[in-house]
Structure 1
Amino acid sequence: MAKREFNPKSFLMIFVSISLASLFLFFSSVFVTDVYSNIFEEERFGKGVRVGSILVEDATKQEAESIVKEEISEWQNQYPVYLSYNEQKVQLSPDTWLFQVEESVQKISGNSNKLLVELDKESVKSSVFKLNVTGLEELLDEEMLYAHLKQVGAKLPTSNLEININEFLTTFGQAEEVVSQSTVKLPGEHVLLADWIKGLHGYEIKPGSSFSLIHAIEEVSLTAQDSIDLNVLASGIYTAVQKTNFTIVERHTSRELPEYAELGFEAFVKPADMDFSFQNPNAAPYKLEFLIDKDHLVVSIVGVPLPFTYKVKVDKQVFKPKTIIRFNEQLASFLSSVVVDGGSEGYLAAVYRESFGSGGEVVESIKLSEDFYPPKHRIEERGYPVEDKEVPDTTNPENGIPVMPYPYPVYPYPANPFDPNAPVIPGIPGIPGADAQPPTENVKDNKVEEKKKTPSDDEKESGGEAK
């Protein structure tokens, strides 16, 4: 067999052909892969791409939606959001936020993108209502609150999740005014009252807090003494509070309506066990201001306008006093009378607070109290009653000669002092027969008994035996 010789030229051609074929296959596979990826595979997001606060880098749209939904679910379960007002707070339902995940992912452009979200406004209103604050809905800037809640949902924060409603009320920044005022006439001197109103002037009642008259006086380093001045001050404040939406916590009345108070507007305070207190349910603070104008105490409540206009209505029922008769032996007869106490009428007052809207319509009417002052009965004294008796005849029935009038109105003077039926009458000097006394035994009965006696009876009485 002939031996073949090595041909470098042929080897080089074969080597170059194989190399070119390999390169062609390699670059073809890369090119085809890129073409396939561009045509058949979904696009993935680049580095640092976020939807809201959620990182979705190197993820397809479908994967990004899953990531966003998972993060939202975790946030809703682990980080509840609260609405707070003073010391009260209510958790917002997770369904309050309506997340638009698909639309948010579709609109990704660049690294920073918004998580689109809407609100269930009825759910928000329901949560605000649960705070149980009178007039809060009227003072709340709802659109401002909705905008803030949307930002919370868009960012999914993990801190500062307690939202203070005070920041969204229209009252902030408004000018203060006198929202209610009362006037009470001062009875006589008022030394203690002057010191108390000086210390309490400008006293602030914070949102949601309670006011106690006794504690407030003690807070300003004074002492609440049991006096008319304390009751006048309490009545003045109570009358002003009635024309607001403040809630009465504790209030008492006396047994009799005092002269300085009108029916339905009295507040009685006894430092030991009876206080006057109320609560400010509003989202804004209010102040108490006092002024003594001649012989009147003027109490004003100053603050931002209240949600409604308030008026007080009193339904009065009158009870007439009865007459109580007492017998007095010093008075001559029942017809003689002396009035000891003229008495006074009693009252039952039903006190209502009516709320009026801006158009003058009645929004609400609630009963604040029922004040009862019992009537003070009329008392008079009379003599003891005496039965009517016939007027005795002063003529002697035997000879028709007038005789001396009987010294006693009840029994006639006896014609026969020995009449056993005649009463015993003390002797009267100068009157014939007046000194005579009737026998102590019944004379007629004795005579009858003597007629019935027999000799045997006499013997029995003398101790003899009957024969």
Structure 2
Amino acid sequence: MRLFTKFTIITLLVFGFLVSFEYNGDKALAAPKGSTIGNVSIENLSKEEMKKQLNAAVDTWQSSEILIMVGEKEILLTGEDFKFDINASIRQYELSIEKPWYAFWEKKRIVHESLIVEANPTLKEKIENQTNLKDENLITQILEAASYLKSSPIKVAVKDISIDQAERISFETIALSESQTAEISKIVAQLNGFIIEPENEVSFNELIANASNNESVMTIVASALYSSVVQSSFEILERHQANEIPTYVNPGYEAVVNPIFKKDLRFVSHSKVPAKIVATVNSGELKIELYSLRGNPKVSVFEEDKKNVKPRTIYRYSSYLEEGEREIAQQSESGLQLVIYRTVTNDDGNEKTELISQNYYAPQNEIIELSSKQTPVDLNSASGEEVSEECNEDDTSDVCKPTTTKRKKATKSKNGSPVPEGSYYTETGDIVTPGDSK
């Protein structure tokens, strides 16, 4: 019994020594190789050494130029805009490496902690004044970069733009049918609120992925967006014209999309500030608006060389029609051609006019079908209506010269007796028979 008691006492003493060795002393905080606070290595440093190293690193960072990039807008900050708490940062590190008393044998893990930093009022004032945004997310991104003492320029992304603080640079509206509203609303839900970052390519098909597979309604939404983009300074990288003159939007402002056939609407903003897409469906109307922070150039869009394209008349023979009959197989519709330009005026007054698109919508030719059941006649005769297969009635080419002459076939004479095959009536009502010299 005494032996057991002695063994227990010795064990407790050894255990207590090990625990004391682990947790006591200035070197207890010493971090393993690779550990950092902020971007400062704290490997094998005591608490006091950590404090010195961190204070020195923060002083160096605060005394340097601190440049923030919001999109392409540059904002210059100073060290006085930030308040670092070194003691709290070390306490945060202590908590992260703390181990249960009974796990004294476990090795210390590598730790990467951030510095604790707050924004002084001057920081918020500078960001709001120079971006016209009251966006807490911007401040959060800047403080996160500061907590790791990141080098300038520090780039931050705008997650949202308040319409109250931005200006509308363009818009387009399209009337919808009742059958289109539900599916277009699904597409609009994915499009609405998207932030267009400077120099980041935007793909319509990627933005609305899986929202719809209906080419017709996708094209309507893409056309509204394209029309808005044309009215901005954004560069259009890809756009596909419709084959026929569109009825849902002005000709030249439509954009056909089809992910299966790799038809997309793509564009990119070269502005220094971000923009926002606002898409809504209300009272049977689709509206797409582009809002931007101040800094976008002024844009004016104009059209030139707009004119109708006259259709042709095509004659075609048909064996299904009786002799002398004709039918209109296809009604004519005029085509259209136009060129769209825009002029971009920068803040310094410099203007640049650029070609946006050349649009050609082919006309629909009138097709008239004639009976092929007609009697062959002398090609040198010149009476009746002249027609030529697949020729314009105004065409004078050799291919389209008259090849047949329509004449009424005669089967009986005036007294009712039969006449030879190939006989026909003249314009005066006389009967001409083969070999007759009349």
The normalised TM-score by structure 2 is: 0.49
Structure number with greater Rg is 1
TM-score scaled to structure 1, two decimals?
A: 0.47
Q: Greater strand share, 1 or 2?
A: 2
